[in-house]
Amino acid sequence: MLNYYFQVGWMKRLAAGGLIGFGIFAATEVCAAEPLATATVVLREVAQSYKAEGVIEAVRQSTVSAQISGRVKEVSFDVGDTVHKGQVIVRIDEREAAQALAGSQAQVMQSQAALTNAKANYERSRQLFEQKFISQAALDKAQADYKLALAQAAASDAGAGQSALTRGYSSVVAPYAGVVAARMVEVGELVTVGKPLMTGFDPSQLRAVVNVPEQVVRSVGTQPQVQLELPALNRWVTAASVTVQPVADARTHSTQVRVTLPANEAGVYPGMFVRAHFVTGKASKILVPVSAVLRRSEVVAVYVVDKKGGVRLRQVRLGESAGQNEVEVMAGLNPGEKVALDPVKAGMGVQQKK
């Protein structure tokens, strides 16, 4: 591996840029005043991964809409509230629906009375026909009137059931337990059928959606291993399951992959940025702890500690992260060397020796 050492001219530029105050010294070896916590640079076989960026979405998310027209008389929840399955979230004035139900019930009573009269008339006509007092035509008419009354009674019953169902739509209930994400209605507002009222999602079931090139999909296999990086939370999560869609985008030639998070993952919500790391193979890499890396403007370096305790600042070139706590070193270090875990403390020790 190539070692990057600081030259005199480069040190002058750092001094001119005000970086000396951060403890970036040491073109020569010096011994730290206090023992430093160190870690050994290792060459280890780690998973080789492909990184894809995406967003978090809810597996279950829906918008509840009005199924009847009317004026909103109650809104029980607002954005951010937790709702249990079956709870009433919005109430719509039901007086119009109640009047329609009353009218339907009156029609049912009317049709039942007509059916009773038609049935009695048919029974009498049949007895008279048997006694040869009426013709076949009169009996056929009585039978037809009876069948018509039966059909009208069935239609009235169906209409009453529909009216009762419509009246039930005045109370809008939550289809499942979740959190309110958006509220689109206010008390007193007139709504019509299909008007969106609230949007909610189930926070216990979330997934990341990313687009992966076709060649990467082939390399990850049928059972991909995926680690999800959540930069906003500084957290890595192991995927619970992975679903590769069976179609590709004709324009980008990429395939959508849905990566399901473990249930009830704290702090995660729809719309968050996420990076998915797909394991595509294994490779040997030189690794150091992330805490050992010193970043100052465009300078990336570590403090190397020799066997005598001497400390030397060395510029390095980093590669990809190997998990949450380690990073790959592509140039500047060799396996077996020791680096200071606290570069600020190491830099202060070097400065005190100056």
Is the full-model pTM beyond 0.85?
no
Residue 84 has what pLDDT? 94
Domains in the chain (CATH in brackets) are 8-46+283-353 (2.40.420.20), 51-60+203-282 (2.40.30.170), 61-92+174-201 (2.40.50.100), 94-169 (1.10.287.470)
Residue 34 has what pLDDT? 57
Q: Vertex 64, ends 63 and 66: CA angle to 5°? A: 135
CB 302 within 8 A of CB 316: yes
Q: How many angstroms separate the CA atoms of 96 and 13, rounded?
A: 81
Q: How many angstroms separate the CA atoms of 250 and 137, rounded?
A: 72
Give every residue of the chain whose pLDDT is below 70, as ranges.
1-34, 97, 220-224, 323-324, 349-354
Residue 5 has what pLDDT? 38
